[in-house]
Amino acid sequence: MTVLVTGGTGFIGRRLCAHLADAGRTVRVLTRDPARAAGRSLAHDAELRATPRAGDAAGWRDAVAGCDAIVNLAGESVAAGRWTDARKRAIVASRVETTRALVAGCRALAQPPPVLVSASAIGYYGPHGDEEISEPSPPGHDFLSRVCVDWEAEAVAAEGLGMRVARMRIGVVLGRGGGALARMVTPFKLYAGGPVGSGRQWVSWIHLDDVVGLLAFALARDDVRGPMNATAPDPRTMRDLASAIGAALGRPSWAPVPAFALRLALGEMAEMLLQGQRVVPRAALGAGYAFLYPKLEDALREALAGA
């Protein structure tokens, strides 16, 4: 089985490629810089190809040809800097336009791959209070919500080709070597860690191994389709998360980051951290997925071991 992975050199993609290779899958990775990617921690025998330009129909057709499944993880980091107009355009293009081009490549084949597992994010739901959110909940109206709605719509277009499409709405990923946790721990190591904003907002987190597990689960199970929240069944408040990080590192959690300071530093992007969502993985649990790290403390203990 050959699996095409877009975004395969990212935090989630690297771990997924290794997992698929260990399971005996042939992995084909699309990357903007194959020479640079060759030196990164990917599956040692992964096939690296340059990502075609969005308008290169023949390039996308050739990239997809011969594959049995696709995992679409491509996307600029939303947390890499202020959301300037240029950054917003890059965020949209790297998700919406890339997914559109990927599906167009499938459409150009007489026999497209039977399954597409496409990343999305819990940003789909927009900011919420204390109510539980599951897959049938409606989308929000902010920038990230609109991006996720358009992103998913491009993936859903593959259903018209007879492909099974699963849409993974990924939460805050906790794991070694990158992601949100790498940025969170530095203040704690300096004895200056604490919750962001009020601390009462919900954080819907998931361990990196469970993101990879859910992606592999969606590839393997013919009955998995539609939206699936890739979040642990134990959402916590920001205050709980900060306390748990401090406990795992043996550091106090006493220095909150005021909302006004975060807005001053990050602009519009700050709202992503200040307004939470209490998302539950109802579809994953209903399909029988068994979480490796269902509890926050266990997830942090593994992710921060040796930190």
What local confidence, expressed as pLDDT, does residue 77 receive? 87
Is 161 part of any domain? yes
What local confidence, expressed as pLDDT, does residue 157 receive? 98
**Alpha-carbon 136 to chain mean position:** 19
Is 195 part of any domain? no
CATH of the domain at 147: 3.40.50.720
Torsion of CA 31, 34, 220, 16, to 10 degrees: -90
Is 243 part of any domain? no
3-state secondary structure of 49: strand
Is 91 part of any domain? yes
Instruction: For the chain, 307 residues long, give each residue's pLDDT as a single digit of tens.
Output: 999 999 999 999 999 999 999 999 999 999 887 777 766 656 567 889 989 988 898 999 999 999 999 999 999 888 877 889 999 999 999 999 999 999 999 999 999 999 999 999 999 999 988 999 999 999 999 999 999 999 999 999 999 999 999 999 999 999 998 888 888 898 898 888 999 999 999 999 999 999 999 999 999 999 999 999 999 999 999 999 999 999 999 999 988 888 887 787 778 878 878 889 999 999 999 999 999 999 999 999 999 987 6
Is 73 part of any domain? yes
What span, in angstroms and rounded, lies between the C-alpha atoms of 32 and 232?
Answer: 31
Helix (H) or strand (E) holding 261, with range, is: helix 259-266
Is 190 part of any domain? no
Question: Comparing C-alpha atoms, which of 216, 211, 226, 237 is closest to residue 286?
Answer: 226
What span, in angstroms and rounded, lies between the C-alpha atoms of 3 and 201?
Answer: 38
The model carries a pTM of 0.94
Domain count, the chain: 1
What local confidence, expressed as pLDDT, does residue 275 receive? 87
Is 7 part of any domain? yes
Residue 99: give the domain boundaries: 2-173+205-233+279-292
Residue for token pair 């890059």: 90
Is 256 part of any domain? no
